[in-house]
Amino acid sequence: MPTFVTFYAYAFEGAPTAPARGWFHAPGLEHLISTRARTALGRAVDEHIWIYRCHGTIQDPTYLPTRGSDTKIDRPSARPVTTDTDVWCDEAELLFEGNAGDSLWWFTMYCARSVLSQWTPPALVREYLMTGSASLREVAHKCAWAASADLADLPRLAARVAMYAASDDRPLLAAREACRLAGQIAGDRLTAVSALQERALASALLGSTAAYRARLTTEAPLQDLAQRVAASLRDSAPTVEEPASRASPTILLAMA
């Protein structure tokens, strides 16, 4: 039996329009979307992002009837190209559209902090990574860059992650490279680290929806309109939504 679920999905500018692994179709959208924020980041060409709340079903493909079976409605256009789950999106609710530069910066900072134990950063770099102070950003970038030139092996890679975290240009490139280098440092722990990176990136991106919701609510001219906007853009934690009209937990599918 399929499970009715509500889940988040992402697409940056550059998302595929033809079938691709890890991507699926949603009604009314020209581009495909992905349940994995890291997958969306991998195809991005700039920081513009769309974040959706999708309503649909999920089922282990082991139990899926064959194509054309009378036991279910065949909806191949709504299927993602995945290996572990089969997801159908019947409705995609746009939560946020805009620039994700700030969210990508926070994710890059997460990557840099996650590999901090792999090297001994200069004091100013460590302070920047711990505080995120804009006043330290430029000097931290220079110090991390200089350190990466003198170090080798894993410390060198960790210093380069810090260098990207302190970059004030091209947040998309910085986030993607920091993610890649942190994964390279992880080695045989890559699977676990990738799962943590996915949660961190998804959380950072979903933070954009919260800020967007708050701004719209503040700018709404009437109180009842503000309440309707807040309700329509509610981005809940991955728990059962209240009140629930059906068994429909909000989930981060990639966290399984």
Q: What's the pLDDT score for residue 64?
A: 43
In Å, how far are 44, 48, 237 from 216, measured between CA atoms?
Answer: 26, 19, 20
Query: What are the beta bridge partners of residue 50?
Result: 11, 97
Q: What's the pLDDT score for residue 227?
A: 47
Q: Which residues of the chain have pLDDT under 50?
A: 62-84, 220-256
Number of H helices, E strands in the chain: 8, 4
Residues contacting residue 66 through CB under 8 Å, at least 6 positions apart: none
Q: What's the pLDDT score for residue 83?
A: 41
Q: What's the pLDDT score for residue 12?
A: 97
In angstroms, how far is the first alpha carbon of the chain from the final one? 19
Q: What's the pLDDT score for residue 225?
A: 41
Q: What's the pLDDT score for residue 67?
A: 40
Is this structure's pTM higher than 0.95? no
Residues contacting residue 119 through CB under 8 Å, at least 6 positions apart: 147, 151, 154, 155, 156, 158, 159
Q: What's the pLDDT score for residue 217?
A: 58
Q: What are phi and psi of 75, to 5 degrees?
A: -130, 70
Q: What's the pLDDT score for residue 98?
A: 94
86-99 sheet: strands from edge to edge: 86-99, 48-59, 3-12, 250-251
DSSP label at residue 65? P
pLDDT tens per residue across span 64-117: 444 444 444 344 444 444 444 577 888 999 999 999 999 999 999 999 999 999
CA distance 239 to 154: 38
Q: What's the pLDDT score for residue 188?
A: 92
